[in-house]
Amino acid sequence: MLTEIINIGDELLIGQVINSNAAYLGQELNALGVKVFKMSSIQDSKDEILRAIEEGFLRADLLIMTGGLGPTKDDVTKKSIAELFGVGIRRDENVLQHVQEIFKKYNRPMLDINMQQADVPENAQILFNHWGTAPGMWFEYKGKYLVSLPGVPYEMMNIFQNDLKTQLLKVIPQNKIYHRIILTVGMGESFLAKTIEDIEDALPEYIKLAYLPKSGQVRLRLSCYQSNDAIEQEIEQIALQLTERLESVIVAQEDVTLPEAILNQLKAKGLSLSIAESCTGGFLSHQLTSIPGSSKVFKGSLVPYDNAIKEQVLGVNTQTLAQRGAVSEATVSEMLKGCLNLFQSDIAIAISGIAGPDGGTEEKPVGTVFIGISNHKRELIKRFTFTNLRQVNIERSATQALAMLFQEFLR
Amino acid sequence: MLTEIINIGDELLIGQVINSNAAYLGQELNALGVKVFKMSSIQDSKDEILRAIEEGFLRADLLIMTGGLGPTKDDVTKKSIAELFGVGIRRDENVLQHVQEIFKKYNRPMLDINMQQADVPENAQILFNHWGTAPGMWFEYKGKYLVSLPGVPYEMMNIFQNDLKTQLLKVIPQNKIYHRIILTVGMGESFLAKTIEDIEDALPEYIKLAYLPKSGQVRLRLSCYQSNDAIEQEIEQIALQLTERLESVIVAQEDVTLPEAILNQLKAKGLSLSIAESCTGGFLSHQLTSIPGSSKVFKGSLVPYDNAIKEQVLGVNTQTLAQRGAVSEATVSEMLKGCLNLFQSDIAIAISGIAGPDGGTEEKPVGTVFIGISNHKRELIKRFTFTNLRQVNIERSATQALAMLFQEFLR
């Protein structure tokens, strides 16, 4: 099933918004065995939308559009689609009721343009949007399919995971897809590839191996898009080979993120965690607390951004700060002790570094980060040198802290 | 000058990589007054590349391609371009020397495929890549322009900032683009539209108004793509009208994020900030500390995820927690006092809520969040009901906290 993704919105074309919707849909469709051969970002105008649909249907069996469904005047998608199909507009009663409920719940006045959120082309099948006012829509057209989704990422994702996925599975040719994921951390993509070269070379043609890298983690995915029981067993055998070869860097045998893998391990071992994070400024705590149920193992964290807080709340010595600096092994060691003490947790992580762009010195350039972990009995502190970029340094530090925790304390 | 951006790479189509190159180019071209009307991500195959160039030149004056220039077999861009122009391939001596130097520097053996990095279509003008081995290329074709850049983001960006920008400025018609941004928070897109309907209706055709919503904020953007001094004045007049009409929800008159606007205000007023954030789990701190220079006003934060931490570190009363619950006005009030005390800051934010998916009750459903702000003299606490979705509740809470801080304490 050849598919094209069309993202509507001037904010994409002027680079104000990075197109995460396209990547999300690409990933999800790929997992369903649907081949995306093109993604386009286009203007929010009737001409461009109609042109994109017509050009898309020259080759694609399925077009998925996002965006252009808001209530304001620059949103013309629904009118364009109705014109394309030569149909009128109807007001959907279920959607209208849902929109009214949302406005009632938040006690907001409902305007005529809000009512129009319930207007759809007559031939639209509704993909219900429980999370917002603009419904998703499904159209069949000469044996092909057109889908229109709102551009707000979480609304789009939730509609995809609920109604749309079910609908797609009805029309996707019924091949059985089998994916097997192994999550690794701490080994680069090319070095991984070299390490498992012989296993990869020996793969039969119907089993694909993909390397999916993301901020210090590499997800290995074995896939077959026309699978059966025998092939599944074969894939599991190969996964076993990979696992033996890569044991030291494997974090999970399922499709979870690194923070999820960590929380699962902590929960399984009955251990609690706390964090004192300075240069990462709350990002590591955010990664963990984004996961439902994290409160079962995560006791809390402190962001001691000001050095005075490191002293007063964590008990770091004034002398240590003055002589060794806030970014030092000595300070991180005292932060660890203070963190364990403050939060009364089984394990503590402490991070102090120079995120940049300013604050670097010859001895400690921007990107220098000390990461420490302690479980009361054993303390491990490592020095890293990441990049010149603030965002990258924050993300890498968080990933490294979790990798250290997993590899040195949870395995 | 109508422009299309074409990003080549299967990793984009399977969603492995989010297309930040397109956003970067969109932003830079927009600033140069070049109008990007389409962005496409396509497969790394000769057919697709040739098709994209031919289709693109039907409307575009300038095509900028990224990717497909590596040494491995799946990179066919250069051959496709040479075929399109009916020219041969030449080996560029300057590029070859540069590639040889790179391999020498890293002490790596140089293979024949590495030499091929210096091969370019005969009619290519080189855009020198000081940061990698694949050169950028500039082509002129029937009064139009084709640019090919490597896909590695920092190589692409550096070539853009150095050779390509200079080259573009030589051929861009001297239209002037003018954007004027007003950042609002706390009023929905449709209500905003209603409030300024008459102003929008009265806009001349050459001035566009866009609504750019993002997690509780709406950016209003007035734009003209063929601007001059008179039109700029006209746009500023309209911005003034909008400002008077929307005064209570405007946070900034420039293209900044809400956290940046807050930090700027705090800095200007010489005020320091600290945060006690429970259900947002570090996200608000992360938003603020992502911004360089935030350490000048942000003293730190506590994530008291476990109720025991609320008691022991912030001094929230055991009785308050037992009788009113962690998610209550009373608890947030005590968190505020504890936060001001712990961090010795001028202003404190405290947040406690039920992010979900579990933990809701009839009285306090998932999405119930109490947000408080105190500046020692005055304390303001509001109750919100957001959604059923954990991520959304976290983001909305953070945005609302910043909005309250701005509107009630910093204006």
- Token reading at A120: 């759809």
Taking contacts as CB-CB distances below 8 angstroms, the residues of chain B near A286 are 280-283, 285-286, 394
Residue A61 three-state SS: coil
DSSP labels, B285-308: HHHHHTSTTGGGTEEEEEE--SHH
Kindly report which listed range (A78-92, A232-246, A383-397) carries the lowest average pLDDT score. A383-397
From A94's Cα to the closest Cα of chain B, the distance in A is: 20
Query: Contact A276/A348 with Cβ under 8 angstroms?
Result: yes
Strand partners, A379: A374
Taking contacts as CB-CB distances below 8 angstroms, the residues of chain A near B225 are none
Confidence (pLDDT) at A242 = 97
Query: Contact A116/A106 with Cβ under 8 angstroms?
Result: no
Confidence (pLDDT) at A364 = 95
| Runs of H (alpha helix) within B325-381 | 329-343
Q: Which of B19, B37, B190 sits opposite A71 (nearest CB)?
A: B190
Q: To 10 degrees, what angle do helices A390-405 and A258-269 make?
A: 30
Taking contacts as CB-CB distances below 8 angstroms, the residues of chain B near A55 are 55
Q: Which of A11, A131, A390 sits opposite B389 (nearest CB)?
A: A131
Find which of B50, B306, B310, B366 to mutate to test the A interface (most A CBs within 10 Å of its CB). B306
Query: Contact A42/A49 with Cβ under 8 angstroms?
Result: yes
Strand partners, B217: B185, B214
Q: How many CB pairs under 8 A join A and B?
A: 262
Kindly report which listed range (A160-174, A188-202, B51-65, B237-251) carries the lowest average pLDDT score. A188-202
Taking contacts as CB-CB distances below 8 angstroms, the residues of chain A near B301 are 282, 302-303, 305
Q: Which residue of A has its CA nearest to B290?
A: A391
Question: B13, A26: Cβ pair inside 8 Å?
Answer: yes
Q: Of all helices (H) and strands (E), which one includes residue A139?
A: strand A136-141
Q: Which residue of A has its CA nearest to B200?
A: A73
Question: A281, B289: Cβ pair inside 8 Å?
Answer: yes
Query: Contact B135/B129 with Cβ under 8 angstroms?
Result: yes
* Cα angle, residue A284 at apex, residues A282 and A287 outer, rounded to 5°: 110
Contacts of A93 (CB under 8 A, 6+ apart): A118
Average pLDDT over residues A231-255: 94
Taking the CA atoms of residue B172, residue B20, residue A54 and residue B225 in that order, the dihedral angle to the nearest 10 degrees is -30
Question: A290, B22: Cβ pair inside 8 Å?
Answer: no
Q: How many other C-beta atoms are found inside a 10 Å radius of the C-beta of residue B233? A: 10
Q: Which of A27, A113, A290 sits opposite B190 (nearest CB)?
A: A113
Contacts of B80 (CB under 8 A, 6+ apart): B46, B49, B50, B53
Cα(A322)–Cα(A309) distance, rounded to whole angstroms? 14
From B90's Cα to the closest Cα of chain A, the distance in A is: 30
Band of the pLDDT at B36, cuts 50, 70, 90? very high
Confidence (pLDDT) at A74 = 61
What is the average pLDDT score of chain A?
92
From B163's Cα to the closest Cα of chain A, the distance in A is: 21
Average pLDDT over residues B318-332: 97
pLDDT at B108 over 80: no
Confidence (pLDDT) at B111 = 78
For residue A281, give the amino acid letter. G
Question: A27, B40: Cβ pair inside 8 Å?
Answer: no
Q: Which of B194, B306, B309 sits opposite A111 (nearest CB)?
A: B194
pLDDT at A51 over 90: yes
Band of the pLDDT at B72, cuts 50, 70, 90? low
Band of the pLDDT at B11, cuts 50, 70, 90? confident
Question: A281, B303: Cβ pair inside 8 Å?
Answer: no
Query: Contact A22/A64 with Cβ under 8 angstroms?
Result: no
Contacts of A274 (CB under 8 A, 6+ apart): A298, A299, A300, A301, A339, A340, A342, A343, A345, A347, A348, A349
Band of the pLDDT at B308, cuts 50, 70, 90? very high
Kindly report which listed range (B225-229, B268-272, B363-367) carries the lowest average pLDDT score. B225-229
- Phi, psi (rounded to 5 degrees) for A91: -95, 120
Q: Which of B23, B41, B200 sits opposite A39 (nearest CB)?
A: B41
Q: What pLDDT, in 10s, does the model give residues B330-362?
A: 999 999 999 999 999 999 999 999 999 999 999
Contacts of B79 (CB under 8 A, 6+ apart): B46, B89
Taking contacts as CB-CB distances below 8 angstroms, the residues of chain B near A343 are 306, 309
Contacts of A287 (CB under 8 A, 6+ apart): A259, A398, A402
Average pLDDT over residues A57-85: 88
Confidence (pLDDT) at A157 = 94
pLDDT at A381 over 90: yes
Query: Contact A55/A37 with Cβ under 8 angstroms?
Result: no
Cα(A149)–Cα(A164) distance, rounded to whole angstroms? 10
From B194's Cα to the closest Cα of chain A, the distance in A is: 8
Question: B190, A27: Cβ pair inside 8 Å?
Answer: no
Q: Of all helices (H) and strands (E), which one includes residue B138?
A: strand B136-141
- Token reading at B325: 């619950």
Taking contacts as CB-CB distances below 8 angstroms, the residues of chain B near A304 are 300
DSSP labels, B75-129: --HHHHHHHHHT--EEE-HHHHHHHHHHHHHTT-PPPHHHHGGGEEETTPEEE--
Question: B43, A42: Cβ pair inside 8 Å?
Answer: no
pLDDT at B50 over 90: yes
Whose tokens are 């003008």? That residue is B125
Q: Which of A114, A212, A286 sits opposite B281 (nearest CB)?
A: A286
Whose tokens are 């992010």? That residue is B355
Q: Of all helices (H) and strands (E), which one includes residue A48?
A: helix A46-59
Taking the CA atoms of residue A114, residue A115, residue A120 and residue A126 in that order, the dihedral angle to the nearest 10 degrees is 90
Q: How many other C-beta atoms are found inside a 10 Å radius of the C-beta of residue A59? A: 12
DSSP B367: T
Confidence (pLDDT) at B86 = 94
Q: What pLDDT, in 10s, does the model give residues B90-103?
A: 999 999 999 998 88
Q: E-assigned strands of A1-52? A: 2-8, 35-42
**Between residues B268 and A191, the one the model is more confident about:** B268
Question: B300, A299: Cβ pair inside 8 Å?
Answer: no
The Cα-based distances of A382 to A60, A322, A329, A346 in angstroms read 51, 21, 8, 20
Confidence (pLDDT) at B73 = 54
Q: Parallel, antiparallel, or unpaired: how do β-strands A62-66 and A2-8 relate?
A: parallel
Confidence (pLDDT) at A173 = 79
Q: How many other C-beta atoms are found inside a 10 Å radius of the C-beta of residue A259? A: 20
Cα-trace Rg, chain B = 27
Taking contacts as CB-CB distances below 8 angstroms, the residues of chain A near B295 are 305-306
Contacts of B239 (CB under 8 A, 6+ apart): B180, B182, B222, B253
Cα(B120)–Cα(B135) distance, rounded to whole angstroms? 9
Give me the sign of the Cα torsion angle A387, A393, A396, A400: positive
From B88's Cα to the closest Cα of chain A, the distance in A is: 29
Q: Parallel, antiparallel, or unpaired: how do β-strands A125-127 and A136-141 relate?
A: antiparallel
Query: Contact A314/A342 with Cβ under 8 angstroms?
Result: yes
Taking contacts as CB-CB distances below 8 angstroms, the residues of chain B near A17 are 23, 212, 214
Cα-trace Rg, chain A = 26
Distance in angstroms between the alpha carbons of the first and the last residue of chain A? 42
Query: Closest Cα partner for B21 from B212, B149, B179?
Result: B149
- Phi, psi (rounded to 5 degrees) for B5: -105, 130
Cα(A399)–Cα(A199) distance, rounded to whole angstroms? 28
The Cα-based distances of B51 to A61, B47, B81, B146 in angstroms read 19, 6, 11, 14
Query: Closest Cα partner for A306 from B302, B312, B314?
Result: B302
DSSP labels, A362-402: SSS-TTEEEEEEE-SS-EEEEEEE--S-HHHHHHHHHHHHH
Q: Of all helices (H) and strands (E), which one includes residue B214?
A: strand B208-214
Taking contacts as CB-CB distances below 8 angstroms, the residues of chain B near A154 are 389, 391-392
Confidence (pLDDT) at A31 = 85
Cα(B29)–Cα(B32) distance, rounded to whole angstroms? 5
Question: A301, B298: Cβ pair inside 8 Å?
Answer: no
Q: Which residue of B has its CA nearest to A294?
A: B305
Taking contacts as CB-CB distances below 8 angstroms, the residues of chain A near B285 are 281-282, 285-286, 303
Q: What pLDDT, in 10s, does the model give residues A146-158?
A: 999 999 898 999 9
Q: How many other C-beta atoms are found inside a 10 Å radius of the C-beta of residue A345? A: 25
Query: Closest Cα partner for B366 from B403, B391, B398?
Result: B391
In chain B, what is the greatest distance between 2 CA atoms, to the nearest angstrom?
82
Helix, strand, coil percent values for chain A (each to nearest 5): 45, 25, 30
Q: Which of B22, B280, B343 sits opposite A309 (nearest CB)?
A: B343
Percent of chain B with pLDDT over 70: 98
Band of the pLDDT at A214, cuts 50, 70, 90? confident
